[in-house]
Amino acid sequence: MKSTVLSTFSLLCARTDEEAMCRVKRHDDHSEFARLMKRWEEPIRRLCTRMVGDAHRGEDLKQDTFLRLFEKRKAYEPTGKFSTFLWRIALNLCYDEIRRLQRRREFLRDPEEQQPEIDEAASDGPGPDARTAQLEEGELVRHALLQLPEIYRTVLVLRHYENLKLTKIAEILEIPEGTVNSRMAEALNRLSRLLVPKLRSNPLPQEHLQVLRKDSAPSPGRPNKSNAPEQSLMAVHKFPNTSYQVLHYEPSNT
């Protein structure tokens, strides 16, 4: 009974992220910083890994993000959302890493080097089991995502992997919501052009075309939250013999 009362009291007294960050800013409160890190380290790790395409480097960038957060604690404005401040720090570190990797690839590139191709001949033999097929498809998607320019990769990762609303993405990137809409449309079009040749071997049957409201397709492990002002439409192309869906985005007029 006593532990239940204490637990309830702790929940009632729990600080918001903004209040916790204010204590970090003003008092160098390490316990509050540790609480913020525990709450946000997994989303930041996911973001960094998706952006750079490497789990080990994503882990390093997560650590760098929280180091940078503490270094920049005096720059935090109490009127702003903590999450926006944190996402921006993580994305700026990811952009630096992407550019570093691009410079390295350009320096080491062999003029005659070709991108590895998927062995299409293997499809004539016995098909892989469902788990193997999903892993292969997931690898194709990750590879295609990394080929997108960072401005398109960012909106796609934030919206479809982190399930952020367009208004939140616009706030993080400091751009109009209409620009987020247009970047999302272009990102999905480019992703489709990269994936369609690899995932579609037959003409797309009409019955596999499904139109959904954007917010009716939740990200894995996240609740489905409807948002009326963001009732944009996406056409989901379900390819034969694959569980992968290529999304085509139609910006909202609202």
Q: Classify residue 42: in a domain, yes or no.
A: yes
In a domain, 213, yes or no: no
Residue 1 in any domain: the answer is no
Residue 60 lies in a domain: yes
pTM across the whole model: 0.69
Among residues of the chain, what percentage have pLDDT more than 70?
62
Range of the domain at 24: 15-107
In a domain, 5, yes or no: no
Total domain count, the chain: 1
**Does any domain span residue 209?**
no
Residues 209-223, mean pLDDT to the nearest whole number? 38
pLDDT, position 109: 64
Could you read off the pLDDT of 65-101 as tens digits, one per residue?
A: 999 999 999 999 988 899 999 999 999 999 999 999 8
DSSP code per residue over 73-91: GGG--TTS-HHHHHHHHHH
Q: Decide if 206 is inside a domain.
A: no
CATH number of 98's domain: 1.10.1740.10
- On whether residue 74 sits in a domain, the answer given is yes
User: Sign of torsion, CA 120 126 132 134?
Assistant: positive
> What token pair was written down for 159?
């919206």
Residue 4 scores a pLDDT above 90: no
